[in-house]
């Protein structure tokens, strides 16, 4: 061992030291051995468990890639509902607290140097990051648009220039946007919560629109290597609807105008309890426009400003018109018991009916109030939700009401189809008809006298129709009632259609008075969509088309996935009967009660309706007009319903006919329907005053047609609207003062409202006998 050294100055590493070093070496070796055993033990004892643990941790690594919700576009490709890619900003406090938090300030500087709308102030966010050092996922800004987020995105992608930007990442999602705000809100519906459609097309077609989320995830391949895979999201499909944004906005503009005109006129509140308009193509069942009042902003459906929230029990007491699927009454009983009070259109509400209401009818009217909420907050919350639900629901398909005289063409068509009427019948109206034990009055208490078959419809004579009903008989009457689809759903492709099977008469329980009043459209309930779909079949040759809104479903790449062709459900009447009905309804507008519905320059047909609401004798009416244009070849059918107009004297179908007229005056030229009638000087003056110049079919080509730009230009919030080349950008205000209630011109000298057809002053408070 000991080495010999000549240099004795040098201390040697002695043998004992060498021995000790060797001992140390073996001690170290023992430690290594111990650790080796420890390593082996970990693998032996916990290997399987830890292996699973490692794999299970990997699963957290998968990221959902949201699918884009399909769009909803109108017949011309205008986007009504779109999904915008938006970004959430996520902050990872943990990595911002790393390295002594040296990245915190620079990162905050960059974040708050952008236009991003953060949920927190800079100080709040800093406090949050410092007090939650383990948090790795905190959304600090929600649904920011690309333009806002792109500067940050660039900085995040540029690590070389922004090395201190840490712990921030972006997550993309989609936000539903409705470029037109409240336009067609009842038809479209909105999206709530987790991409869940509510109401309208959004709910009905939710599964089509929603698509399938994709996922980015890691998985182990056969060699147990981790691989990452992206399963792309399957974007939702786009709905092409039959709605025409321009027609829809014309309709909504006039509904709004009507309701604003009559706001607070007779009582506090809106111009009507509700106003609904549907425009439909009778030859396909496609709905061109469907609107009601009030409307709500689809981009902010829960906005309650302007909403009348009544926190009281009174709130639950509703008129008959609000019966819906959840709130059904027994119309048969009501009708048979309350029949004495039935008054048809154009009758004065204070007519001094001789028959008193039978005992118990009032009790029928009392709604069962829901359980009284415990606190005011709860009651308020309930009332708010009820008010919102009332706002969101689609009046045109959900609300049921008694149609009134607009049902008369249906009665007539049944009789003609069955050969009961030849068209040569005459009727004698004395103003009242005794049915069973009851006297049922005509709208004209003095009686219409002798009426021809056509005259009965033109004058909307209840007595004549009660006679017709009696001659048809209840069995046939109800057979046709069912054939016209009353009591059944139309299956229009919208959520919330009311089921009316209990709201129509049961033929076995029908008494003569039931038949009498149903012949002029009282005593049973319908929805607007049922009425217009049935009426379309009366004038289109007898084909009952299933009403629908979506005409095509296209996928993300623009390829058509499904075409929804017009679907004839059944034949209601023959082509001959239909032809006859067109002729009869044309007469209503040219000779009878529907005169005021005719837009200048056009011939149209239709039928008015004025139905007294429950409870009877309170002066509340549903006034309506069912019309079509042009008269000789119907291209569109329009149905206007005004529930409880806010006027002193309600029972005037004029409110509906004038609204219809205003709408058609703009819609028909827009649809390139040519004027066929001579314009009177007054009409010309009126059209000029409204700055509406129309194409004369004789000397102008299609492209030169001038269309009213009012609705299109004003209500267009983005550039995606198809701009018609014949639009004129300039806009003129009417210079001619018009009566706000009727739209009739006002004599500037006397201030009296003038009847445009006679030029004579008329008194608006006097019942309109038409």
Partner 1 sequence: MSEPERRRKPNKDKAFFDYTMLFIVLFLLCFGLVMLYSVSSYESSLDFGDSAYYLKKQAQATLVGVVFMFIVMMIDYHFWRRFAVPAYLVSVVLVLLVLTPLGYEVNGAKRWLNIGISVQPAEAAKVGMIIFFAAYVCRIGKNVQTLKGVVRTLLLGVPISAFVLFITENLSTAIIIFGIIFMMVFVATPNYKEYFLLGLGIVAVAAVFVVLVQKGVLTSEQSYRFGRIEAWLNPEAYSGTTGFQTLQALYAIGSGEIFGKGLGQSMQKLGFVPEAQNDMVFSIICEELGLFGAFMVLLMFILLIWRFLVVANNAEDMFGALIVVGVMAHISLQVILNVAVVTNTIPNTGITLPFISYGGSAVVFLLIEIGLVFSVSRRIRLKNPGNEG
SS3 574: coil
Q: Which residue carries 């989320």 as its tokens?
A: 213
22 binds partner 1 (CB under 8 A): yes
20 binds partner 1 (CB under 8 A): yes
Exactly one of 2, 8, 16, 374 binds partner 1 (CB under 8 A); that residue is 16
Compute the least distance from the CB of residue 99 to partner 1, in Å. Answer: 7
Packed helices 408-417 and 474-483: angle between N→C axes, nearest 10 degrees: 110
Exactly one of 39, 63, 153, 385 binds partner 1 (CB under 8 A); that residue is 39
Q: Which residue carries 């009916």 as its tokens?
A: 353
Compute the least distance from the CB of residue 95 to partner 1, in Å. Answer: 9
Residue 303 CA: distances (Å) to CA of 51, 223, 299, 355 = 53, 56, 9, 47
Q: Which is nearer to partner 1, 33 or 369 (CB)?
A: 33
Please state, in angstroms and rounded to a whole number, the distance separating the CA atoms of residues 634 and 457: 19
Q: Which is nearer to partner 1, 77 or 163 (CB)?
A: 163
Please state, in angstroms and rounded to a whole number, the distance separating the CA atoms of residues 329 and 333: 9
Alpha carbon of residue 252 to chain centroid: 12
Token readout for 37 is: 């055993």
Give the torsion sign (CA, 263, 266, 267, 271).
Answer: negative
Compute the least distance from the CB of residue 123 to partner 1, in Å. Answer: 24
Compute the least distance from the CB of residue 23 to partner 1, in Å. Answer: 8
105 binds partner 1 (CB under 8 A): no
Please state, in angstroms and rounded to a whole number, the distance separating the CA atoms of residues 40 and 617: 95
Exactly one of 77, 163, 360, 751 binds partner 1 (CB under 8 A); that residue is 163
Compute the chain's Rg from CA coordinates.
Answer: 37
Token readout for 14 is: 């002695």
Return phi, psi of residue 143, to 5°: 50, 55
766 binds partner 1 (CB under 8 A): no
Task: Please name every residue paired with 183 in a beta bridge, in sequence order, or none if there are none.
Answer: none
Please state, in angstroms and rounded to a whole number, the distance separating the CA atoms of residues 335 and 135: 66
Compute the least distance from the CB of residue 159 to partner 1, in Å. Answer: 4
Compute the least distance from the CB of residue 391 to partner 1, in Å. Answer: 47
Token readout for 326 is: 């959840």
Q: Which is nearer to partner 1, 55 or 309 (CB)?
A: 55
29 binds partner 1 (CB under 8 A): yes
Exactly one of 2, 8, 100, 557 binds partner 1 (CB under 8 A); that residue is 100
Q: Which residue carries 């309109």 as its tokens?
A: 768
SS3 516: helix
Residue 157 has a CB neighbour count (10 Å cut-off) of 9
Is the separation of the CB atoms in 637 and 627 below 8 Å?
yes
Burial of 37 (0-12, 13-18, 19+ CB in 10 A): exposed
Question: Alpha helices of 223-300 — where are they, by DSSP H?
Answer: 245-261
In eight-state DSSP terms, residue 140 is: E
Return phi, psi of residue 23, to 5°: -60, -45
42 binds partner 1 (CB under 8 A): yes
Please state, in angstroms and rounded to a whole number, the distance separating the CA atoms of residues 707 and 698: 17
Q: Which is nearer to partner 1, 166 or 408 (CB)?
A: 166
Alpha carbon of residue 335 to chain centroid: 31
SS3 569: strand
Beta strands (DSSP E) in 248-339 are 272-280, 287-293
Considering only the stretches 17-25, 277-285, 326-334, 743-751, report the one whose residues sit in contact with partner 1 under the rule CB under 8 A: 17-25
17 binds partner 1 (CB under 8 A): yes
Please state, in angstroms and rounded to a whole number, the distance separating the CA atoms of residues 172 and 73: 24
Considering only the stretches 12-20, 449-457, 540-548, 605-613, report the one whose residues sit in contact with partner 1 under the rule CB under 8 A: 12-20
Q: Which is nearer to partner 1, 100 or 678 (CB)?
A: 100
Q: Find all residues with CB under 8 Å of 78, minimum gap 6, and list them.
A: 245, 720, 721, 722
Compute the least distance from the CB of residue 171 to partner 1, in Å. Answer: 17
If we measure between CA atoms, which residue out of 290, 334, 346 comes closest to residue 609?
Answer: 346
Q: Which is nearer to partner 1, 170 or 257 (CB)?
A: 170
Q: Which is nearer to partner 1, 47 or 717 (CB)?
A: 47
Is the separation of the CB atoms in 532 and 547 below 8 Å?
yes
Q: Which is nearer to partner 1, 42 or 766 (CB)?
A: 42
* One character per residue 166-205, x = contact with partner 1 (rule: CB under 8 A): x---------------------------------------
Compute the least distance from the CB of residue 108 to partner 1, in Å. Answer: 19
Please state, in angstroms and rounded to a whole number, the distance separating the CA atoms of residues 697 and 425: 39
225 binds partner 1 (CB under 8 A): yes
Considering only the stretches 30-38, 80-88, 516-524, 549-557, report the one whose residues sit in contact with partner 1 under the rule CB under 8 A: 30-38
Q: Which is nearer to partner 1, 97 or 144 (CB)?
A: 97
Q: Which is nearer to partner 1, 60 or 678 (CB)?
A: 60
Q: Find all residues with CB under 8 Å of 81, minimum gap 6, and list them.
A: 71, 72, 176, 177, 178, 188, 201, 202, 298
State the Cα torsion 752-757-758-764 to the nearest 10°.
-40
Site for partner 1 in 255-294 (CB under 8 A): none
Exactly one of 28, 64, 130, 561 binds partner 1 (CB under 8 A); that residue is 28
If we measure between CA atoms, which residue out of 151, 258, 162 comes closest to residue 738?
Answer: 258
219 binds partner 1 (CB under 8 A): no
Q: Which is nearer to partner 1, 21 or 369 (CB)?
A: 21
153 binds partner 1 (CB under 8 A): no
Q: How many residues bind partner 1 (CB under 8 A)?
A: 52
Burial of 299 (0-12, 13-18, 19+ CB in 10 A): middle
Compute the least distance from the CB of residue 274 to partner 1, in Å. Answer: 57
229 binds partner 1 (CB under 8 A): no
Considering only the stretches 94-102, 425-433, 723-731, 735-743, report the one whose residues sit in contact with partner 1 under the rule CB under 8 A: 94-102
* One character per residue 44-73, x = contact with partner 1 (rule: CB under 8 A): --xx-xxx-xxx-xx--x------------
Site for partner 1 in 373-432 (CB under 8 A): none
Exactly one of 63, 119, 153, 226 binds partner 1 (CB under 8 A); that residue is 226
Q: Which is nearer to partner 1, 11 or 354 (CB)?
A: 11
Compute the least distance from the CB of residue 8 to partner 1, in Å. Answer: 11
Exactly one of 159, 562, 567, 570 binds partner 1 (CB under 8 A); that residue is 159
Q: Which is nearer to partner 1, 134 or 422 (CB)?
A: 134
222 binds partner 1 (CB under 8 A): no
* One character per residue 108-147, x = contact with partner 1 (rule: CB under 8 A): --------------------------x-------------
Compute the least distance from the CB of residue 26 to partner 1, in Å. Answer: 10
Is the separation of the CB atoms in 621 and 655 below 8 Å?
no
Exactly one of 10, 359, 368, 559 binds partner 1 (CB under 8 A); that residue is 10
Compute the least distance from the CB of residue 120 to partner 1, in Å. Answer: 25
If we measure between CA atoms, which residue out of 393, 564, 397, 408 comes closest to residue 484?
Answer: 408
Q: Which is nearer to partner 1, 35 or 385 (CB)?
A: 35
Compute the least distance from the CB of residue 36 to partner 1, in Å. Answer: 6
- What does DSSP say about strands 238-241 and 72-73: parallel, antiparallel, or unpaired? parallel
Q: Which is nearer to partner 1, 21 or 64 (CB)?
A: 21
Binding residues for partner 1, rule: CB under 8 A, are 1, 3, 5, 10-14, 16-18, 20-25, 28-29, 31-32, 34-36, 38-40, 42-43, 46-47, 49-51, 53-55, 57-58, 61, 98-100, 134, 159-160, 163, 166, 223-226
């Amino acid at each position: 061992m000991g080495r010999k050294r000549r240099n004795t100055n040098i201390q040697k590493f002695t043998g004992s030291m060498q021995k000790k070093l060797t001992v140390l070496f073996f001690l170290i070796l023992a430690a290594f051995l111990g650790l080796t055993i420890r390593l082996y033990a970990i693998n032996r004892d916990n290997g399987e468990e830890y292996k699973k643990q490692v794999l299970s941790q990997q699963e957290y690594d998968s990221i959902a890639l949201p699918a884009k919700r399909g769009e909803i576009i109108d017949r011309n490709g205008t986007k009504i509902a779109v999904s915008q890619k938006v970004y959430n900003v996520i902050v990872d406090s943990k990595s911002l607290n790393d390295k002594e938090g040296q990245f915190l300030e620079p990162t905050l500087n960059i974040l708050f140097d952008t236009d991003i709308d953060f949920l927190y102030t800079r100080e709040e966010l800093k406090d949050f990051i410092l007090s939650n050092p383990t948090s790795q996922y905190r959304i600090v800004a929600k649904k920011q648009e690309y333009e806002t987020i792109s500067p940050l995105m660039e900085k995040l992608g540029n690590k070389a220039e922004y090395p201190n930007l840490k712990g921030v990442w972006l997550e993309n999602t989609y936000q539903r946007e409705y470029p037109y705000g409240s336009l067609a809100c009842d038809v479209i519906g909105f999206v709530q919560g987790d991409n869940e459609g509510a109401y309208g097309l959004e709910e009905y077609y939710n599964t089509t629109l929603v698509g399938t989320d994709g996922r980015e995830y890691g998985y182990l391949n056969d060699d147990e290597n981790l691989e990452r895979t992206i399963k792309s999201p399957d974007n939702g499909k786009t709905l092409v609807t039959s709605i025409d944004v321009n027609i829809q906005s014309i309709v909504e503009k006039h509904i709004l105008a009507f309701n604003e005109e009559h706001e607070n006129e007779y009582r506090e509140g809106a111009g009507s309890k509700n106003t609904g308009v549907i425009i439909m193509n009778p030859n396909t069942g496609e709905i061109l426009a469907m609107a009601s009042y009030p409307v709500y902003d689809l981009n902010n459906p829960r906005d309650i400003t302007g909403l009348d929230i009544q926190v009281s029990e009174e709130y639950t007491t509703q008129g008959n018109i609000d019966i819906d699927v959840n709130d059904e009454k027994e119309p048969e009983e009501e009708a048979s018991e309350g029949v004495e009070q039935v008054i048809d259109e154009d009758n004065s509400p204070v007519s001094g009916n001789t028959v008193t209401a039978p005992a118990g009818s009032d009790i029928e009217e009392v709604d069962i109030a829901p359980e009284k909420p415990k606190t005011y907050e709860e009651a308020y919350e309930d009332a708010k939700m009820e008010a919102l639900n009332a706002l969101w629901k689609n009046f045109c398909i959900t609300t049921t009401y008694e149609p009134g005289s607009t049902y008369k063409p249906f009665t007539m068509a049944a009789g003609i189809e069955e050969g009961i009427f030849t068209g040569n019948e005459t009727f004698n109206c004395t103003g009242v008809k005794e049915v069973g034990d009851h006297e049922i009055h005509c709208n004209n208490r003095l009686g219409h006298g002798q009426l021809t078959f056509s005259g009965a419809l033109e004058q909307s004579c209840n007595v004549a129709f009660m006679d017709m009903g009696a001659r048809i008989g209840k069995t046939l009457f109800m057979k046709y009632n069912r054939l016209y689809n009353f009591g059944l759903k139309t299956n229009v492709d919208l959520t919330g259609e009311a089921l009316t099977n209990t709201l129509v008469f049961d033929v076995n329980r029908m008494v003569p008075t039931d038949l009498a009043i149903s012949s002029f459209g009282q005593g049973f309930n319908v929805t607007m969509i049922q009425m217009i779909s049935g009426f379309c079949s009366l004038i289109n040759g007898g084909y009952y088309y299933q009403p629908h809104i979506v005409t095509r479903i296209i996928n993300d790449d623009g390829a058509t996935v499904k075409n929804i062709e017009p679907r004839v459900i059944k034949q209601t009447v023959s082509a001959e009967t239909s032809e006859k009905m067109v002729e009869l309804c044309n007469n209503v507008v040219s000779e009878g009660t529907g005169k005021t519905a005719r837009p200048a320059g056009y011939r149209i047909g239709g039928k008015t309706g004025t139905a007294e609401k429950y409870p009877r004798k309170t002066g509340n009416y549903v006034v309506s007009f069912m019309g079509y244009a042009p008269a000789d070849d119907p291209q569109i059918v329009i149905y206007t319903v005004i529930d409880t107009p806010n006027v002193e004297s309600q029972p005037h179908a004029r409110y509906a006919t004038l609204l219809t007229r205003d709408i058609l005056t703009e819609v028909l030229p827009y649809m390139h329907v040519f004027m066929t009638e001579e314009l009177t000087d007054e009409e010309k003056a009126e059209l000029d005053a409204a700055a509406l110049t129309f194409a004369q079919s004789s000397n102008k080509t299609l492209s030169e047609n001038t269309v009213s730009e009012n609705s299109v230009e004003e209500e267009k919030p983005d550039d995606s609207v198809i701009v018609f080349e014949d639009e004129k950008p300039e806009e003129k205000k009417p210079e001619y003062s018009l009566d706000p209630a009727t739209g009739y011109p006002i004599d500037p000298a006397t201030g009296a409202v003038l009847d445009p057809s006679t030029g004579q002053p008329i008194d608006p408070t006097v019942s309109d006998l038409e």
